[in-house]
Amino acid sequence: MRAADPELLAAGRFRIVELNGLTAEATHIYDPANSLLDAYRVLFEQWRIAFEIGRRNRDRGARPASLGELARLVRRARARPA
Number of domains forming the structure of the chain: 1
Residue 17 forms part of a structural domain: no
Q: Which residue has the higher pLDDT, 32 or 2?
A: 32
Residue 67 forms part of a structural domain: yes
Residue 53 forms part of a structural domain: yes
Residue 66 forms part of a structural domain: yes
Residue range 24-68, pLDDT digits in tens = 888 899 999 999 999 999 999 999 999 999 999 999 999 999 999
Residue 13 forms part of a structural domain: no
The two counts, helices (H) then strands (E), for the chain are: 3, 0
Residue 60 forms part of a structural domain: yes
Residue range 8-28, pLDDT digits in tens = 989 999 888 777 788 788 889
Residue 42 forms part of a structural domain: yes
| Domain carrying residue 73 | 25-79
How far is it, in rounded angstroms, from Cα 51 to Cα 61?
15
pLDDT band at 82 (very low <50, low <70, confident <90, very high): low
Residue 1 forms part of a structural domain: no
